Structure 1
Amino acid sequence: MYYDYHMHCDFSRDSKTPMEDMIRKSIDLKLSEICFTDHSDYSILVNNIEQDHEVDYKNYLKSLEFFQNKYKKEITIKKGVEIGLQNHTIDKYIEDIKSYDFDFVIASIHTINKSDLIDRDFYKNKSQYEAYRQYYENLYNIIKKFKNYSVLGHLDLVKRYGDLNNIIDDKIFGDEIDEILKMAIYDGKGIEINTSCFRYNMPDLTPSSYILKRYKELGGEILTTGSDSHNPSQVAYGFEKVYPQLQDMGYKYICTFDKMKPNFIKL
């Protein structure tokens, strides 16, 4: 049984897919449980104009509750959100998470100092090494202060939008990665395995096999699987490849979430 805990619909700025289409595809695939995690990203510079890419939380949660009831006999649907953290937006997200009834929160870094990784603005005038180091240091400094999340999303996202022909070995940043993982474990938080790596033709998993193994070695147990899907064709994409790899790494469980509490399900 598969559990897709990272999916988007038209409540996210970068998706045009109705929520119900994602649900029906998940049912067709016989998924046991899904969680919508639509995007909330504050304070991004777009053409030198600062923008907020907000979720309409009230209508989003209202729609989720409607479909939870409509499809309750066919699939379990959980209420989540993916937040794009920056140092200066932490207080706003603390307020958001406390104000709404989420089952699950993905803490991601999409933007640093208002510069978007996806549009590659962040990489301008930086070496690959400088970009990686700033990304990992930024993530660590944020999770020292921000604790209102469930898992860290696509933890090594910095690789995806950099130079894919010259990805730097994780061991170069082993100390930084270890400190991030230790902090997450100490706080009782997890990480996700994000199968968009297959769609982006990454040379390894996201996060990498190295990071996944280190999380396990350091005592981490909370792991979710997410497709990062934005349309029905991407739902649960690559899950059949990932589950055996997780077992080979020694993982025995994946997690679902209910009211921000993990449930451990045997692989």
Structure 2
Amino acid sequence: MDYHHHSNHSYDSKADMKEICKSAIEKGVREICFTEHYSVNPRVPTYGHMEFDSYFKDIEQCRSLFGSELTIKAGIELCEPHERKAEFKAALDSLPLDFIMGSVHNIQSTKLSAVIKAHGERANELYFQELYKMVSEADIDVIAHLDLIKRYTHRDLNEIYDFNKYKESIAKILSKAIERGIGIEINTSGLRTSMRKTMPGKEILSLYKELGGKILTIGSDSHKADDTGSHIAEAYELAKQCGFTEIYTFTRRQPSPIPL
């Protein structure tokens, strides 16, 4: 199952949904969830691209074409969903979404790369503070790429945060997620870069399990048909190493466990 994928309904992808489905079937993926970027903040890049009528039309067309071979779920990735909550609610409440991810790509409408340029290593602290705000307030099902900040610090500062330095902050985020019934994902996109790490990695996944976390999804975060299902098998193995015996699917935002 690939529970994080973007198509040309996201601002940063040109991938055709039908081609993605074909690629998924060819690679043995049995269930896919499209999670297009969406924001109601006009000051960030993900604002204004998503057209829901067109998105759901394409979802239904793909279900008609490929439904006998592939389960296709309708999802969305919300950028900073703890901000402008009333606007998000008004936009999304009537939609037949199966799955909602929440992510922090911006802090106070400033892209993470710019936050790192302005604050250096302290950007890690600012990011985890913002993530805690999100998991405390937002209406989401799963935290997308929980430690995304390391993708940018690896690229821009040639370093990745020290887990032990931020363990208390991360545990606070995970505990709040568990309290609110929010899961996390293993995002494999970092394995397609020079970073060569999942988001999050084994330390955070093990801590989540230790704290009582159960809801776990796995996604490639692909923006191209060719990357559909990328490194999913490795993520399954990582989940097992961290003690997980199930991963989750979602239907109309209700989680269901699937044995690993």
> What TM-score, normalized by structure 2, do the two folds share?
0.94
The residue that corresponds to 2:7 in the other structure is: 9
Distance 2:19 2:143 in 1: 26
User: Matched residue of 1:43: which SS?
Assistant: coil
Show the counterpart of 2:94: 99
* 1:225 aligned partner: 218
**C-alpha contact (below 8 Å) 2:154/2:195 kept by paired residues:** no
Confirm or deny: 8 A CA contact 2:81 2:103 kept in the other structure: no
1:188 lines up with 2:186 in the alignment: no
In 2, are the aligned partners of 1:39 and 1:53 still within 8 Å (CA)?
Answer: no
Shift, 1:15, TM fit: 0.6
Instruction: Tell me which of 149, 152, 158 is aligned to 2:143.
Output: 152
The structure 1 residue matched to 2:20, chosen from 19, 22, 44, is: 22
Match for residue 84 of structure 2 among 75, 79, 89: 89
Q: Which of 119, 132, 143 is residue 135 of structure 2 equivalent to?
A: 143
**Ranges in structure 2 where 5+ consecutive residues have no aligned partner:** none
Deviations 1:13-32 (A, max 9, x none): 11111110101100111211
CA distance in 1, matches of 2:221, 2:99: 14
Checking the alignment, whether the CA contact within 8 Å between 2:81 and 2:102 is kept in structure 1 is no
Does the aligned pair in 1 maintain the 2:222–2:228 contact within 8 Å? yes
Asked if 1:122 is matched to 2:115, the reply is yes
Provide the C-alpha distance between the structure 2 equivalents of 1:191 and 1:172, rounded to a whole number of angstroms: 21
Q: How many residues align?
A: 258
- Where do 4+ consecutive residues of structure 1 move more than 4 Å? none
State the distance in 2 between where 1:187 and 1:45 align. 29
CA deviation profile, 1:123-174 (whole Å, cap 9, x unmatched)? 122021x10111111111122221x211000000011111453212111111
**Over residues 185-218 of structure 1, what are the superposed CA-to-partner deviations in whole Å (9 max), with x where a residue is unaligned?**
1111100100001112225321121111111000
Alignment check: 8 A CA contact 1:86 1:111 kept = no
Counterparts of 2:117 and 2:9 in 1: how far apart (Å)? 30
Contact kept? 1:44, 1:111, Cα under 8 Å: no
Matched, 1:63 2:54: no
Q: 1:86 to 1:97 in 2, by over 3 A?
A: closer
Asked whether the equivalents of residues 32 and 76 of structure 1 are also in contact (C-alpha less than 8 Å), the reply is: yes
Cα distance in 2 for residues equivalent to 1:6 and 1:203? 18
> d(CA) in 2 for partners of 1:8 and 1:161?
20
Change (3 A) 1:51 1:218: closer
Percent of residue pairs identical: 34
For structure 1, list consecutive stretches of 5 or more residues without a partner in the other structure. Answer: none
- Closer/same/farther in 2, CA of residues 111 and 218 from structure 1, 3 Å limit: same
- 2:162: which partner in 1? 169
Cα distance in 1, alignment partners of residues 210 and 188 from structure 2? 22
Q: Aligned to 1:105, what secondary structure does the other structure show? A: strand
RMSD: 1.7
* 1:44 Cα offset (Å): 5.8
Give the alignment partner of residue 246 of structure 2, picking from 253, 260, 267: 253
Partners of 2:39 and 2:78 within 8 A in 1: yes
